[in-house]
Structure 1
Amino acid sequence: MDAFPAFFPLDGRTVVVAGSGAAAQAKLRLFEGSPARLVHLEGEAAREPGAYEGAALAFVADPDDGFAAAAAAAARAAHVPVNVVDRPALCDFVTPAVIDRGEVVAAIGTGGASPMLATMLRHDIETRVPEGAGRVAALFRKLQDEVRGALPELHERRAFLRDALSGPAAQAAMAGDMDGAARLLREALARGGGASGRVRFVEGSGPTDLLTLRASRALAAADVLAPDPGVAPGVLSMARRDAERVESADAVAVADLARRGLTVLRVVNGPPSPAELAALRQAGVEVEVMPAAVS
């Protein structure tokens, strides 16, 4: 990882855009509708460090090299991280290609090496992020404390939220019925959130770009990874960094983890063993086998 991605909260913060012309206007449009206080500086005002005092971020966009360097220096003197359009040597950070769905924001960066590639990848991902995704995130933020209070165990909470994300509450939020969504989520919570564990199988010999969307989502959602020796490292890298990893794929041990309410992902080098599948089902564990890969 050549650059660390981070998200800056904008509520109650100040963002400064310095400069004039089309690039400066594009930066101003980027923050339209955000909760940030937006300040636009032009001319000599942009060269004064005091104009940037207290800002969370600064962007400099101007065709004049001297102005850009002076404005960047002023922002940096005020201890504000600054991005200067088309001048990577003057930047403290680079601006990614952004998918904006309100409370759901995705960003794709190439470290400034290829903005066009980042834009192309953004278009690919954007089709998978529905317009209502931000409303779903807002729903879960609103009820976050209630869910934490009802389900203090992390794995139980994750299981509940994983199911809720594809349930009626999320569908209501996606459609814009936020009051109905909150009611449905509270009803699901009142019924008891302890979802049962399960074991999922994903074929992990690679390459990663042939994994199905369902398999990719299973990797991202797993509580525990139980990989076969020799599976593709790139496949395992798609799992959550904090997912527990177990070396033994013993069916008894895997079934025990699932009975504790955990979602266990068996990453296998080929089709799952019929004997292992039979042992898990005999142990009363829910088993799901992901399609191998797209062709």
Structure 2
Amino acid sequence: MDAFPAFFPLAGRTVVIAGSGEPAEAKARLFHGSPARLVRLEGDAAFQPSNYHGAALAFVASEDEAFARAAAEAVRAAHVPLNVVDRPQMCDFTTPAVIDRGEVVAAIGTGGSSPMLATLLRHDIEARVPEGAGRVAALFRKLQDEVRAALPEPHRRRSFLRAALTGPAAGAAMAGDMEAAAELLRAELARGQAAGGQIQYVDARGPADLLTLRAARALAASDVLAPDPDAHPDILALARRDAERVEGLGVEALAELAGRGMRVTRLVVSPAWRREHAALVDAGVDVEVLPIAG
């Protein structure tokens, strides 16, 4: 990862755009409909550091090299993160291609090396993100404190939310009925519909592009990752970064984790997994084998 992606909250924040013409207008359009206060600077006003103080972000957009450099110096003097259009060597951050679904925002970046590639990838991903995704996110934000209070254990909370994201509450939010969505989610929470633990087996011999979509989703949803020692590194890289990783777990330890409501992904390379799987089934553990070779 050559650059770390981060999201800046915009509510109550100020964004400054220095410059004029189409480059500046394009940056301004990025913030259309956002809760940020947008400040536009032109001429000598762009060269005064005091005009940037307290801003969350600043953009300098001008084809005039002298203007861009002078404005950039003012932004740096104000200690505000800076983007200078078409001059990546002067940037603290680059502007990604953005997919805006309200509270769901996705961004594709190439470190400024190929904005056209980022745009093409954005179009591919945008078609897969439904318009109502932002409303689903808004629903879960609204009830976040209630869910945390009812399910203080992180793994049980994740389990509940995984089920709820494909349940009737999410469906109502997707359709735009936020009042019904909140009622349905509270009802699900009152029933305590946290899914039980499960062990999912994934072929980890690699390469990663051989994984099925279900296997990739299992990696993304894992509470615990239990890999064989020689699991392919590209497959390990697809797992949740904050999932606990433990090697050498036996049948009893795996069953105990599932009994606590954990979702465990077993990344297997050796055919010995079949004996382990049979023992878990005999113990009554919920086990799923995702399409696996060998």
Pick the TM interval, shorter chain.
Answer: over 0.9
Equivalents in 2 of 1:43, 1:277: separation in Å?
70
TM-score (norm 1): 0.94
- Relative to structure 2, which stretch is displaced further, 88-97 or 207-216? 207-216
Is residue 143 of structure 2 the alignment partner of residue 177 of structure 1? Answer: no
Contact 1:228/1:249, CA 8 A, preserved across alignment? no
Q: How does 1:148-163 map to 2 (within 5 A)?
A: 148-163=148-163
Separation of aligned partners in 2, 1:34 and 1:205: 45
TM-score by length of 2: 0.94
Cα distance, 1:2 vs. partner? 2.2
Kindly provide the amino acid, as one letter, of the partner of residue 187 in structure 2. E
Deviation at 1:269, TM superposition (A): 2.3
Check whether the contact 1:223–1:263 (CA below 8 A) recurs between aligned residues.
yes
After superposition, the CA RMSD in angstroms is 1.7
Which amino acid letter does the alignment assign opposite residue 7 of structure 1? Answer: F
Q: Which runs of 5+ in 1 are unaligned?
A: none
Residues 109-166 of structure 1: CA deviation (Å, up to 9, x unaligned): 2222222222232223223322111111111100000001101111111111111111
Deviations 1:190-221 (A, max 9, x none): 00143210111111222223322222111111
What's the counterpart of residue 63 of structure 1?
63
Say which is worse superposed, 206-215 or 81-90, in terms of deviation: 206-215
State the Cα distance separating 1:247 from its structure 2 match: 0.9
Q: 1:100-249 maps to which residues of 2 (within 5 A)?
A: 100-249=100-249
Q: Deviations over 1:60-85 (max 9, x none)?
A: 11111111111111111111111000
CA contact 2:163–2:194 (8 Å) conserved in 1: no
The 2-side partners of 1:16 and 1:101 are apart by 23
Number of residue pairs the alignment of both structures matches: 293
The residue aligned with 2:282 is 282
- Report the equivalent of 2:97: 97
Aligned partners of 1:286 and 1:51: how far apart in 2? 60
Structure 2 unaligned spans of 5+ = none
- Distance of 2:194 and 2:176 partners within structure 1: 27
Name the CA distance, whole Å, in 2 between partners of 1:73 and 1:238.
40
Cα distance in 2, alignment partners of residues 190 and 198 from structure 1: 23
- State how far apart, in whole Å, the 1-side matches of 2:273 and 2:92 are: 51
